[in-house]
Amino acid sequence: MLRRMLWRMLALAVLAAGAVPARAAEAYQVSTISSLLAGGYDGDTTVGEMLRHGDFGLGTFNGVDGEMIVLDGQTYRATTDGLAHPVAPTELTPFAVVVPFHPQSSTAVAPGQSLDQLEVALDALPYSASRIFAARVDARFQTIQIRSEPKQNPPYRNLVEVIKTQQVVHTLNDVRGTLIGFRFPAAASSVNVAGWHFHFLSADKTRGGHVLALTTGEGLALVEEISDLRIRFPASAPASAASAESVKAVERPAVTGGQ
């Protein structure tokens, strides 16, 4: 009962805040998904500089050394053991997207949903499919499947090959935590992942990774529509266009099992 009251109070506070006109949100992105897929794993942007532009986001680190999670202004690295570690502001990133997260509304998350079903439910909210959509989902998950990958060394292989051969998958059961998610429009497919992209951080900040699959428990989604995107392009990066097939091979690869 107390938990439900807290969820309801939070939802009302979010909706009340959304009633006040606010400046349109701007997302800040380091490099592009096309560059990352082609092996652009070296960046010149520090985590500290990135955090000047947002307190909520996701990405990776130099050499694709684990999955980046940015939540409440803190940055974590999810490693191949399924653990999450705080990151120093001096670390570099070759690809990340962050936003100063100010949710405009909230919606309850129904228990028993798959990742695809959760995405459909979020897509049904009255926000433009032509804009960036950010979602923070705080919930208990019946099960969640997360992955990370080990740091790469030059000469770099493309990301599809890295994920295909080296990703490490973990399955967590009955765990409370937060999904950090972005939905980019199809028109931005060479800039970022078209459709949804989620990372996960457990409530105790010790487990995390890129989300491959899940089953929801009771929870709450806080959402924000973002109209503007600022991109910091790297000084040097591979030239490549991101195909839908290569993005799918990285975002939702076939998984035979998890640890």
Whether 74 is covered by a domain: the verdict is yes
Q: In the predicted model, what is the mean pLDDT of the chain?
A: 89
Into how many domains does the chain fold? Answer: 1
Cα distances (angstroms) measured from residue 37 to each of 4, 211, 214: 42, 18, 25
Whether 10 is covered by a domain: the verdict is yes
Q: Could you report the per-residue pLDDT of 6-62, keeping only the tens digit for each? A: 454 454 444 444 443 345 579 999 999 999 999 999 999 999 999 999 999 999 999
CATH of the domain at 23: 3.30.1330.80
Q: Where in the sequence is the domain holding 216, given as residue range(s)? A: 2-251
Cα distances (angstroms) measured from residue 218 to each of 3, 55, 118, 221: 10, 25, 12, 10
List alpha helices for 124-222, DSSP H.
159-166
Lowest pLDDT segment from 9-18, 136-145, 178-187, 242-251: 9-18
Whether 257 is covered by a domain: the verdict is no
Q: Which band of pLDDT confidence, cut at 50, 70 and 90, is reported for residue 255? A: low
Other beta carbons within 10 Å of 233? 11
Whether 66 is covered by a domain: the verdict is yes
DSSP 66: S
Other beta carbons within 10 Å of 232? 15
Shortest CA distance to 56 belongs to which of 84, 28, 19, 89? 28
DSSP 28: E
Per DSSP, the residues of 96-128 read EEEE-----EEEEEPTT-BHHHHHHHHHTSSS-
pTM: 0.88
Distance between alpha carbon 62 and the CA centroid of its chain, in Å? Answer: 17
Q: Residue 203 in contact with residue 178, Cβ under 8 Å?
A: yes
- Residue 114 token pair: 């798959």
Whether 196 is covered by a domain: the verdict is yes
- State the virtual CA torsion across 207, 180, 141, 175 in degrees, nearest 10: 20
Write the CB contacts of 254 (distance below 8 Å, at least 6 apart in sequence): none
Q: Could you report the per-residue pLDDT of 68-112, keeping only the tens digit for each? A: 999 999 999 999 999 999 999 999 999 999 999 999 999 999 999
At residue 253, the pLDDT reads 76
Whether 103 is covered by a domain: the verdict is yes
Whether 258 is covered by a domain: the verdict is no
Question: Please, what's the b/e burial string for 2-24 (b: 16 or more CB within 10 A of its CB; e: otherwise)?
Answer: eeeeebeeebeebeeebeeeeee
Q: Could you report the per-residue pLDDT of 107-145, keeping only the tens digit for each? A: 999 999 999 999 999 999 999 999 999 999 999 999 999
Whether 256 is covered by a domain: the verdict is no
